[in-house]
Copies of this chain bind each other. A is one copy, B any other.
Amino acid sequence: RSTASHMAEGSSSKLKDFPHLSSSQRALMGDLINAIEDRFEDRLLPCTLPPDVEYYQNQSGNSEGALLIRSGSPDSSINFILASWLHSQLPTGASLNIASLSAYLRPSTDAPNFLIEFIQSSPTSLILILDLPPRKDLVLNPDYLQSFYEDTRLDTYRKTIEELPEARPYIMSSLFFRSLVSPTSIISRVDTESGGPERMEEIIKNHVGPIARDMVRVWVDECACKEREVGMMERVEIEKRDGLIKKKTIDIDLGSSLPRLFGQEVADRVVAAIQQVFDEA
C-alpha cells in the first residue's frame, strides 16, 4: 500500500467509522469503499478536505456528518469517489441517518458511474438507492444500454430486491434525479415494522449486501476498468452532462438538506468544499 493511501485512511477514519449505522450497514459501506480503494490503490489521491469538512456538526451538536472525497490521479479513469454520512436527532425524537458512496468517472470514458445511498428515519424504515447511473441518453445509444445494462444482467438484482415482501418502489421527489438513474436502478423503500430492526439487519446482510458487492464489482470491472472510445464531440457532451449532474446534486440534494440540518454557516462551508473538488476534478 502506498503512503498516499495510508495517509488518506488516516485522515478519513471518522468517515469510515460510520458510528450511527447498524453493524450490517457499517460492514457493507466499509466493504464497498475498500473494494474501490483496493482496486485503484495508488491511482486515488489522498483526501484534501479541510478537517472541519471531513467532520462537521451543528452548534447544538444534535447533527453531525463526515465526508471523504478522493480524486483519481490524472492517468486514472476515476474522477473522484465521494463517501458521506450524516446523522441528525430530529425534533420528533427519531433520528435521520444518511450514508452514501458515489464514484464518478472522467469524460475520457462514457461508462456509468456508481451510486449507493441509505436513508433511514427509523431502524425499521430504509430508502435504498443503488444504481450505475448512465452517462449518455440510453434511447439514442441502444448499444450502450445493451453493454452496461442488458449484458451485465443488472435487472436481476433489481428484481431480487423488488420481490422482498418488505420492499416497494420508491419515487424520488426530484424529476431530475428520476431522469438520471438507469432503467435497472434499485430505488426502494423497505419497511420492516413487523419484523423489527432484526429483519432490517437480515435484509441488509443477506440481500442488499451481496447485491451491492456484486454491483460494485460490475462497476469496477465493466465500467471503471474498460477502455472506451470517446470521440472529441462526444467528450464535450459527456463533460457538459457530468457538470450538470454535479451542479444539480449540490443544488437539489445538499443545497436543501444541509442548511436545514446544520445551519447556513456549516452548510456553506461543506458545500463550498465539495464545489471546489467538483470544479477541480
Closest B residue to A170 by CB, please name it: B169
Determine if A139 and B180 form an interchain contact, defined as CB atoms under 8 angstroms apart.
yes
Task: Produce 1/0 per residue, A234-269, CB < 8 A to B.
Answer: 000100110011001000000000000000000000
CB A129 to nearest CB in B, in angstroms, measures 15
Task: Produce 1/0 per residue, A131-174, CB < 8 A to B.
Answer: 00000111110100100011000010000001000001101000
Closest B residue to A138 by CB, please name it: B179
Q: If A137-B140, A139-B180, A140-B240 touch, does A171 touch B162 (CB 8 Å cutoff)?
A: yes
CB A27 to nearest CB in B, in angstroms, measures 30
Indicate the member of A145, A149, A168, A183 with the most B CB atoms within 10 Å.
A183
Closest B residue to A133 by CB, please name it: B139
Closest B residue to A154 by CB, please name it: B175
Q: If A137-B140, A180-B139, A237-B140 touch, does A175 touch B162 (CB 8 Å cutoff)?
A: no
Give 21 CB contacts A-B under 8 Å.
A136-B137, A137-B137, A137-B139, A137-B140, A137-B241, A139-B176, A139-B180, A139-B241, A139-B244, A139-B245, A140-B240, A142-B176, A145-B175, A145-B176, A145-B179, A155-B175, A162-B171, A169-B169, A169-B171, A175-B183, A175-B184
Closest B residue to A241 by CB, please name it: B140
Indicate the member of A138, A145, A168, A179 with the most B CB atoms within 10 Å.
A179
Determine if A179 and B183 form an interchain contact, defined as CB atoms under 8 angstroms apart.
yes
8 extra interface residue pairs, beta carbon distance < 8 Å, beyond A136-B137, A150-B175 = A138-B179, A140-B240, A140-B244, A145-B176, A155-B175, A162-B171, A169-B169, A178-B183
Instruction: Tell me, in angstroms, the Cα distance from A240 to B141 when the chains sit together.
Output: 10
Closest B residue to A149 by CB, please name it: B175
CB A20 to nearest CB in B, in angstroms, measures 31
Closest B residue to A150 by CB, please name it: B175
CB A191 to nearest CB in B, in angstroms, measures 15
